[in-house]
Amino acid sequence: MRYVASRLGYGLLLLLGVSILSFLLADLSPGDATAEMRLNPRISPGAVAALRVRYGLDRPLPVRYVRWLRSVASGELGWSVAFDAPVGPLLWRRAGNTLVLAVTAMILAWIVAVPAGVWAAARQGSWGDRLGLAASAVLLAVSELVLALLGLALAASTGLLPAGGMASLDYDALGGWGRARDLAAHLALPAVVLALSAFPVVHRHVRAAVAEALESPFVQAARGNGIPRRRLLWRHALPAAAKPLVSLLGLSIAGLLSGSVLVEVILSWPGLGPLLLQAILARDLHVVVGAILLSSVFLVLGNLVADLLLYWVDPRVRGT
Amino acid sequence: MIRGVITRGVITSRRVSLALAAGFLALLYLGALGAGFLAPYGFDEQDREHTYAPPVRLRFRDGGGRLHLRPFLYIGVEKPGAPGVYEEDRARAFPVRFLVPAPPGRTGARVRLFGVEEPARIFLLGTDRFGRDQLSRLLYGARISLFSGLLAAGLAVALGLLAGAVAGFRGGWLDQVLMRTSELFLALPWLYLLLAVRAVLPLDLAPSGSFLLLVAVLGAVGWARPARLVRGAVLSARGRDYVLAAQGFGGSDGYVLRRHVLPQAVGVALTQLALLVPQYVLAEVAMSFLGLGVAEPVPSWGTMLAELERYDVLISYQWMLWPAVLLTGVVLSYHTLAEHIRERLQAGEV
């Protein structure tokens, strides 16, 4: 329990740090949302000043930070000047969509990559292994951007899958089952693209970790005792190799979130990525800070889940 | 015996892949530097008669069946009523000329490697929406995309060396502050961080300004990982006998750091560099793709790919995908290089 508490405390400290960092960054910005209004001759300087007072832009930095923290605590996360609405509700919807995409992609990638990696580790140097390594090397070099473009081309030219968006036009008219199918059809392409970009890293780590475990004396001993190969691989080698893999699970969330920005923009998935881009172009800094903060919340949560999983999987962690 | 043959086979294939990777990169960087000479047109030269023209066909055999040593081409004419469909006008052949004088302009080169006589156009890789030559734009775009990656990675590793050396050598509160800050930077998804930093900077800039800005932003965001690795190398070097001896002889901090400690971190820094460059090339392409990097008409591989966001363009005009192909090749080559450097280092340490 102390282990969990310390991980949680660390995560919270990290979030506080991220919030200060991103707020400072936002403050360094040469202009704010009222900058363009000031250039507009039809808006009087007095009106701009009144707006600045209303949004609290005239207060000193620490005051604004504390005010913003208070609005974070209430779930508002500040005020979006471009949407003229609290940031929180804007973000929740988008963040949910990003989460659906990222989690689906992660599950897909791991479901394929773990067996492939274990299989490759058991047959190191074989043609199948080399082929797998070559394929993952190529996949590693293809950016999510290119993968998403190829996916878009495939969808648009074959017409098998919807080429973007999250729902069909008649989504509201569909029943429960129809809605689920519609969502799955729209989710398939971005999730597969994202999973393909996450696959090579997982594949290589699983292969390396299991290969190392296979070399260890206890696996050799187990083999000497005549334990069948399949059981040896899945029951003995894989759990012993789990530690770096579970850490990777936590760390890979950062990569998935970064990759999903591009995939979301190209395949018009209404997640955090397009919103963030829009907010940057509109200089809507509270939305930017909110999106960054939320992405780091995902990360902290992901790492926490990974830590808990590790606690469950690996008795060596429980001992300390 | 058989084992030896196999390992030898692996080694030669590694050598070959290394040579291929290095050769490909050298070719591209040289192509980017020599864009003024190699590109048949300027990057912003438009030809509204030839929008989305497919790659031109170079021919050696004329209508009478005679073989020519010098390749020639016909003018492509857009079919009336069918936009994007081009037919060759066989009335007149235009031979490809080499070392043609370049029109005076800002490219600086007085001679171009090849070209054809007007009104024919030589579009070896087709044209884009404004009838701009894709080959020329690829070469000029490589300047932005490849060199921003190189410069930014250099900056990030330099900052990382500085921070890591200071943190590892000085220790104490400075070490604490630097390492906690680096954890913060590592905790965020890099693209979000990049977008955040970009968000607070001006949006409309001259191309050279936005290029430098992008390099600075990328470099500033990426210092954390090299810094941590360098710090580790510095820490392990600091306790070695020869370092203690140098300090005992009265060597100043700066001298000991420069002469005895930092050389231990060179390998780490080099591997990081080879890994960061492709990541930053990708980052530049992503930023320009999203409209936050260099702006039109200056080409970057990212702005060139941005046209493909319209999927009708993507399906109908496949030659627009060349930046994606080259980009993948660049990343693959750098990964091969990084792998090789790492293997060398490991072999050297044993």
Decide if pLDDT at A33 tops 70. no
Is beta strand B86-95 parallel, antiparallel or unpaired with respect to A85-86? unpaired
Decide if pLDDT at A111 tops 90. yes
Higher pLDDT, A320 or B275: B275
pLDDT of A29: 60
**What gap in Å lies between CA A275 and CA A258, rounded to an integer?**
14
Helix/strand/coil (H, E, C) string of chain B?
CHHHHHHHHHHHHHHHHHHHHHHHHHHHHHHHHCHHHHCCCCCCCCCCCCCCCCCCCCEEECCCCCEEEEEEEEEEEECCCCCCCEEEEEEEEEECEEEEECCCCCCCCCEEEEECCCCCCCCCCCECCCCCEHHHHHHHHHHHHHHHHHHHHHHHHHHHHHHHHHHHHHCHHHHHHHHHHHHHHHHCCHHHHHHHHHHCCCCCCCHHHHHHHHHHHHHHHCCHHHHHHHHHHHHHHHCCHHHHHHHHCCCCHHHHHHHHHHHHHHHHHHHHHHHHHHHHHHHHHHHHHCCCCCCCCCCCHHHHHHHHHCHHHHHHCHHHHHHHHHHHHHHHHHHHHHHHHHHHHHHHHC
Q: What is the mean pLDDT of residues B151-155?
A: 93
The gap between the terminal CA atoms of chain B, to the nearest Å, is 25
E strand or H helix at A10: helix A2-28
Lowest mean pLDDT among A96-100, A156-160, B166-170, B320-324: A156-160
Judge whether B314 and A153 are in contact, CB under 8 Å: yes
Minimal C-alpha gap between A20 and chain B (Å):
10
User: Are A258 and B190 a contacting pair at CB < 8 A?
Assistant: yes
Decide if pLDDT at A318 tops 80. no
pLDDT by residue (tens digit) across B293-316?
887 788 889 999 988 888 778 888
Minimal C-alpha gap between A285 and chain B (Å):
8
Higher pLDDT, A54 or B95: B95
User: Are A280 and B292 a contacting pair at CB < 8 A?
Assistant: yes
**What gap in Å lies between CA A66 and CA B54, rounded to an integer?**
59
Q: What is the overall mean pLDDT for chain A? A: 81
Decide if pLDDT at B23 tops 90. yes
Residues 6-35, chain A, touching B (beta carbon < 8 A): 14, 17-18, 21-22, 25-26, 28-31
Higher pLDDT, A13 or A116: A116
pLDDT by residue (tens digit) across A61-80?
777 778 777 877 777 777 77
User: Most confidently modeled of A38-47, A106-115, B180-189, B233-242?
Assistant: A106-115
Residues in a beta bridge with A65 = none
pLDDT band at B6 (very low <50, low <70, confident <90, very high): very low
Of A39, A146, A247, A286, which to mutate for an interface test with B (greatest number of B Cβ within 10 Å)? A146
DSSP-derived secondary structure letter, A172: G
pLDDT band at A281 (very low <50, low <70, confident <90, very high): confident
pLDDT band at B203 (very low <50, low <70, confident <90, very high): low
User: Are A143 and B285 a contacting pair at CB < 8 A?
Assistant: yes
Q: What is the mean pLDDT of residues B179-183?
A: 83
Q: Which residue of A has its CA nearest to B17?
A: A134
pLDDT by residue (tens digit) across B101-142?
877 765 667 788 887 877 778 888 888 888 888 898 999 999
Nearest CA to B225 out of B150, B151, B160, B181 is that of B160
Q: Which residues of A touch B197 (CB under 8 A)?
A: 25
Residues 186-205, chain A, touching B (beta carbon < 8 A): none
Q: Which residue of A has its CA nearest to B10?
A: A125
User: Are B328 and A142 a contacting pair at CB < 8 A?
Assistant: yes
Q: Which residues of B touch A141 (CB under 8 A)?
A: 278, 328-329, 331-332, 335
Q: Which residues of B touch A297 (CB under 8 A)?
A: none
Judge whether B91 and B73 are in contact, CB under 8 Å: no
Determine how many CB atoms are found less than 10 A away from the CB of residue B302.
Answer: 27
Judge whether A167 and A182 are in contact, CB under 8 Å: yes
Q: Which residues of B touch A20 (CB under 8 A)?
A: none
**The tokens of A169 are what?**
């036009």
Using beta carbons and an 8 Å cutoff, which residues of B are at the interface with A?
180, 183-184, 187-193, 195-203, 278, 282, 285-286, 289-292, 305, 308-309, 311-312, 314-315, 321, 324, 327-329, 331-332, 335
Q: Which amino acid is at B75?
A: I
A286 contact B CB<8A:
no
Size of interface A-B (CB pairs under 8 A): 129
Decide if pLDDT at B4 tops 50. no
User: Are A18 and B290 a contacting pair at CB < 8 A?
Assistant: no
pLDDT of B311: 78
pLDDT of B2: 41
pLDDT band at A31 (very low <50, low <70, confident <90, very high): low
Lowest mean pLDDT among A36-40, A48-52, A176-180, B258-262: A36-40
Judge whether B242 and B259 are in contact, CB under 8 Å: no
Residues B227, B229, B230, B236: is their CA dihedral positive or negative?
Answer: positive
Of A127, A133, A145, which to mutate for an interface test with B (greatest number of B Cβ within 10 Å)? A145
Of B197, B321, B329, the CB nearest to A25: B197
pLDDT band at B268 (very low <50, low <70, confident <90, very high): confident
Of B196, B278, B305, the CB nearest to A22: B196
Decide if pLDDT at A110 tops 80. yes
ipTM above 0.95, yes or no: no
pLDDT of A36: 60
Nearest CA to B160 out of B275, B25, B259 is that of B275
pLDDT of A278: 86
The pTM for the full model equals: 0.84
Lowest mean pLDDT among A154-158, A213-217, B132-136: A154-158
Of B188, B324, B331, the CB nearest to A295: B188
Decide if pLDDT at A166 tops 80. no
**What gap in Å lies between CA A51 and CA A318, rounded to an integer?**
55
Q: Which amino acid is at B210?
A: S
A266 contact B CB<8A:
yes
Nearest CA to A145 out of B46, B60, B287 is that of B287
A134 contact B CB<8A:
no
Q: Which residues of A touch B292 (CB under 8 A)?
A: 277, 280
Q: Which residue of A has its CA nearest to B203?
A: A281
User: Are B197 and A141 a contacting pair at CB < 8 A?
Assistant: no
Minimal C-alpha gap between B345 and chain A (Å):
19
Nearest CA to B166 out of B153, B180, B156, B179 is that of B179
Q: Which residues of A touch B199 (CB under 8 A)?
A: 25-26, 29, 279-280, 283, 285, 288
Residues 30-89, chain A, touching B (beta carbon < 8 A): 30-31
pLDDT of A56: 66
Decide if pLDDT at B5 tops 60. no
Minimal C-alpha gap between A164 and chain B (Å):
10
Judge whether B256 and B243 are in contact, CB under 8 Å: yes
Q: Which residues of A touch B225 (CB under 8 A)?
A: none
